[in-house]
């Protein structure tokens, strides 16, 4: 009935409806025009994401989404010799997996807007402090992710978008342009604060506006109440709806 925006990703997507979250912001902004569908899978990497494609984007799906955001990498970038190694995916495989996800979405419709989002930067000091609190002084637990590693995945994500002709938001780079990004945008060194969520929201709106999916360009789901003729609501509600106003 309404165009769908599917948000596919890991915990940074799953948590995007917490207070100030970018998914909630998108739903609010596109109320009456698009349905935002949350498909965030906390802890998942792109290797595991591939197994979900058949259910999320099954071949032959009639109602192709208008937008799909693909936001993985924070778990793929977990270091291979530390406590989160089971989530690790090597960079070349990560990049190939992103291309496979894009390909699955594109197979449904050429009209779907696909937006890749790179992993955000990592503030190692806060991550280590979190690990110390949770696990004590186990050096295996600390240093499970580095900002350098996240940067390599961000670069690969940008390259995958270029190769597969998808849009991309280089969050890793643009967040670090702001002084104080470490605590301004990240609440535990990895996940986003409300202000960090706002960066994703604003960058995403820019892409949507640029690619013909601005709020203004989209059709209302039933007319605004000021356009309803109170003396003859059936006329306005159905005629306006059917003429697409």
CB of 230 to its own copies, least distance (A): 4
CB of 173 to its own copies, least distance (A): 27
CB of 150 to its own copies, least distance (A): 18
For the question of residue 11 being annotated catalytic, the response is yes
Q: Identify the residue among 3, 40, 73, 119 touching its own copies (CB under 8 A).
A: 40
Rounded distance, CA 62 to CA 229, Å? 35
User: Encoding tokens for residue 31?
Assistant: 């109320």
Rounded distance, CA 21 to CA 14, Å? 10
Task: Give the CA dihedral 232, 236, 238, 242, nearest 10 degrees.
Answer: 160
Toward its own copies, which CB reaches closer, 14 or 69? 14
Tell me the per-residue interface mask from 84 to 123 with its own copies, x by CB under 8 A, - otherwise.
--xx------------------------------------
Residue 180: CB atoms within 10 A of its CB come to 8
Q: Describe the crossing of helices 147-164 and 91-108 by its angle, rounded to 10 degrees.
A: 40
User: Encoding tokens for residue 33?
Assistant: 């025009």
The CA radius of gyration of the chain, in Å to the nearest whole number, is 20
> Is residue 48 involved in binding its own copies (CB under 8 A)?
yes
Chain residues binding its own copies by CB under 8 A are 1, 14-15, 17-21, 23-25, 27-28, 31-32, 35, 37-38, 40-44, 47-48, 51-52, 55, 75, 86-87, 194, 222, 224-226, 228, 230, 233-234, 237-238
Which positions are catalytic?
A: 11
């Amino acid at each position: 009935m309404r165009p769908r925006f599917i948000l596919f990703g890991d915990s940074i997507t799953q948590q995007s409806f917490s207070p100030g979250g970018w998914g909630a912001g998108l739903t609010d902004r596109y109320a009456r025009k698009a349905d935002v569908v949350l498909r965030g899978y906390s802890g998942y990497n792109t290797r595991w994401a591939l197994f979900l494609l058949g259910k999320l984007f099954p071949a032959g799906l009639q109602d192709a989404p208008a937008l799909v955001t693909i936001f993985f990498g924070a778990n793929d970038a977990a270091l291979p010799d530390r406590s989160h190694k089971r989530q690790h995916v090597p960079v070349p495989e990560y990049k190939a997996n992103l291309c496979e996800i894009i390909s699955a979405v594109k197979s449904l419709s050429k009209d779907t807007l696909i937006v890749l989002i790179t992993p955000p930067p990592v503030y190692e000091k806060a991550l280590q402090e979190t690990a110390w609190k949770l696990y004590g002084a186990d050096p295996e637990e600390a240093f499970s992710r580095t900002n350098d590693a996240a940067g390599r995945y961000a670069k690969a994500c940008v390259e995958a978008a270029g190769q597969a002709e998808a849009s991309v938001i280089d969050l890793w780079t643009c967040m670090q342009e702001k002084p104080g990004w470490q605590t301004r945008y990240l609440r535990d060194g990895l996940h986003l604060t409300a202000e960090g969520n706002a960066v994703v929201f604003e960058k995403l709106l820019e892409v949507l506006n640029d690619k013909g999916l601005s709020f203004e360009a989209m059709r209302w789901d039933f007319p605004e109440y000021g356009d309803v003729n109170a003396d003859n609501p059936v006329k306005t509600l159905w005629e306006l709806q059917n003429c697409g106003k």
